[in-house]
Chains A and B, each alone.
Chain A
């Protein structure tokens, strides 16, 4: 019998400061110390351990096509994420997983993919964006609509600049800023402004709950059916394997049956997230 609760040890191989200040975000890349098998799907999560502090469920932001490292972009919020932010290159953490269902990207071949993210919500989307770009021939048009409170709160700034050469990206900030040439306003407003077509398309959105709510409304208004809209849900988790009893929405444990849901499915479940 495999012991699911024992994490595999990994070293932090690089740390990038994405955002500083009160709502700091860092991107960590890790290497397993022993050659561990960790084949994840886009949108799956991992339970990260800082020994002495505890565990926290974080989405894997690197593409499954990358074998060299696992990447996690982490907002400094609670006990474990704060401890992670204090760690340095070479430090050891624990990783167990992967957990959750992941995005059904196999079903999305031949479709236009529209990614809509807000703030740290770009992290779970990033693994599909990277995968779709690498396998561009399998999909039609790729579009990313991404925004944050201020330009300083955007993650993956340099990577986004690079990515603009390969796909259409529309950025936004909530309020006017000097030198900001792109959209000003909330993400759902940017969606209404850019009016992506629902024709042969899948829209995937991730971000703060209130943003998701209005993005879904905007997409519905643009003619997207509920089964064309996907999002991820998060709740507090301890075990990651459907036993500890706290991440459920109705009869679903998000750690197992989630975190990815089509809006068609999610709207039938209690709104306890």
Chain B
């Protein structure tokens, strides 16, 4: 399999992908974010990680579900707004974020199907970029069943090898992208395999944050559900919600009607990201609120990721990207919280 691409040929490969909409990290000021790329030849994959994970491409922060229109209260016209089915490719996804997308697929596919996510997902090819060095000092992917070069959820995995990329095909969809660049890829030299393993092994060693006994913590969580532990840990929370907005697997959303004109009635039903750390997230219209305090909301976030999802899907709802740690303005650190759970004695 020819899978070695000289970096100087990268833009030529991208030019061959002109039938796809291409998303890749773009630097604006100091931060990187996934954006739709007009000129794919300008993509620069020399980046740490984006501020918002690539979930935003498949599950946009705001999306219209339907439009409604009526000239009298006795009639109503509905228009379903379905995502376009254009083949797309997202370049440069870190393994943690790719695993996040795989988990989101499980959530949006399980039981009732969510066609908005699934349609986009079906037409999107995911090209990963293994981490040679942890993009953040808060990375902890290896503690939550991941690795800096995990292939889970990806169609292709690229590894930076200095002046060239090793591009591993994982699925048929990925294979097609390689075929599109025929003539640009070379056969791997004999030493590549060894070199690749060395790069991956080294990158794993550079991860500084670790959670001990994650399985034990996961099963211990229900035992400390009704303790003052959560009051202490949530004390500094200012319920800004950055932990969940920046999370590659948080998927809670709100649905609201936006009215453009009241008579004749014209408007849109819109889905937006929502946040379990907001006080009104669970508030009933009566005013009763089952998770009315910060303690119960932090507990929900941790329980959902490390216990409830595990119970329902046999896996964790965290991929160790470390964004919630780096971004939290008051220093709530999920790795520390879990360590405290591990050693907590009632």
Checking A3, A246, A273 against B274 with a beta-carbon cut-off of 8 angstroms, the contacting residue is A246
Contact A243 B107 (CB under 8 A): yes
A243 to B59, CA, bound (A): 12
* Chain A minimum-CB-distance residue to B260: A52
State the interface size on chain B (CB cutoff 8 A): 56
B256 at the interface (CB under 8 A from A): yes
CB distance from A118 to the nearest CB of B (A): 14
Q: Which of B25-33, B174-182, B306-314 contacts A (4 or more CB under 8 A)?
A: B306-314
A52-B259, A52-B265 known; A92 vs B252 contact (CB < 8 Å): no
A52 to B271, CA, bound (A): 14
B228 at the interface (CB under 8 A from A): no
Q: Which of B155-163, B211-219, B277-285, B335-343 contacts A (4 or more CB under 8 A)?
A: B277-285
A244 to B116, CA, bound (A): 13
A5 to B68, CA, bound (A): 13
Q: Which of B40-48, B69-77, B94-102 contacts A (4 or more CB under 8 A)?
A: B69-77
CB distance from B52 to the nearest CB of A (A): 18
A243 to B73, CA, bound (A): 31
Checking B108, B116, B282 against A235 with a beta-carbon cut-off of 8 angstroms, the contacting residue is B282
Q: Which residues of A contact B202 (CB under 8 A)?
A: none
Contact A51 B68 (CB under 8 A): yes
Interface positions of B from 79 to 108, Cβ below 8 Å from A = 80, 82, 107-108
Contact B251 A245 (CB under 8 A): yes
B135 at the interface (CB under 8 A from A): no
A194 at the interface (CB under 8 A from B): no
A263 to B116, CA, bound (A): 37
B227 at the interface (CB under 8 A from A): no
Checking B80, B254, B259 against A238 with a beta-carbon cut-off of 8 angstroms, the contacting residue is B254
Contact A91 B73 (CB under 8 A): yes
B203 at the interface (CB under 8 A from A): no
A7-B78, A246-B281 known; A239 vs B308 contact (CB < 8 Å): no
Q: Which of A122-130, A149-157, A221-229, A248-256 contacts B (4 or more CB under 8 A)?
A: A248-256
CB distance from A241 to the nearest CB of B (A): 4
A4 to B118, CA, bound (A): 13
Contact B118 A1 (CB under 8 A): yes
Across chains A and B, the number of contacting residue pairs, with CB separation under 8 Å, is: 127
**Chain A 206-247 interface mask (CB, 8 Å, partner B; 1/0):** 000100000000000000000000000011101101111111
A265 at the interface (CB under 8 A from B): no
Checking B76, B225, B252, B288 against A246 with a beta-carbon cut-off of 8 angstroms, the contacting residue is B252
A52-B68, A251-B307 known; A6 vs B78 contact (CB < 8 Å): yes
A178 at the interface (CB under 8 A from B): no
Q: Which residues of B contact A2 (CB under 8 A)?
A: 113, 115
B137 at the interface (CB under 8 A from A): no
B276 at the interface (CB under 8 A from A): yes
A166 at the interface (CB under 8 A from B): no
Q: Which residues of A contact B300 (CB under 8 A)?
A: 248, 272
CB distance from A106 to the nearest CB of B (A): 22
Contact A238 B253 (CB under 8 A): yes
CB distance from A229 to the nearest CB of B (A): 21
A4 to B251, CA, bound (A): 17
A30 at the interface (CB under 8 A from B): no
A238 to B251, CA, bound (A): 13
A9 to B259, CA, bound (A): 19
B200 at the interface (CB under 8 A from A): no
* Chain A minimum-CB-distance residue to B68: A51
**Chain A 70-96 interface mask (CB, 8 Å, partner B; 1/0):** 000000011101000001101110100
CB distance from B297 to the nearest CB of A (A): 11
B183 at the interface (CB under 8 A from A): no
Q: Which residues of B contact A235 (CB under 8 A)?
A: 282, 284, 290
Q: Which residues of A contact B112 (CB under 8 A)?
A: 4, 241-243
Contact B76 A9 (CB under 8 A): yes
A246 to B255, CA, bound (A): 12
B323 at the interface (CB under 8 A from A): no
Contact A3 B111 (CB under 8 A): no
Contact B312 A251 (CB under 8 A): yes
| Given A54-B255, A245-B252, 15 more pairs with CB closer than 8 A | A4-B114, A51-B267, A52-B262, A56-B285, A234-B284, A238-B253, A241-B114, A242-B110, A242-B111, A243-B251, A244-B253, A244-B254, A245-B276, A250-B308, A251-B308
Instruction: List 25 A-B pairs, Cβ < 8 Å.
Output: A3-B82, A3-B115, A4-B114, A5-B66, A5-B271, A6-B65, A6-B66, A9-B78, A11-B74, A52-B265, A53-B257, A55-B255, A77-B285, A91-B74, A92-B70, A236-B285, A241-B111, A241-B112, A243-B107, A243-B114, A243-B253, A246-B252, A246-B281, A247-B282, A272-B282
| 10 closest cross-chain pairs (CB), A and B | A78-B285, A245-B252, A241-B112, A251-B308, A77-B285, A272-B290, A251-B311, A92-B76, A51-B68, A1-B115
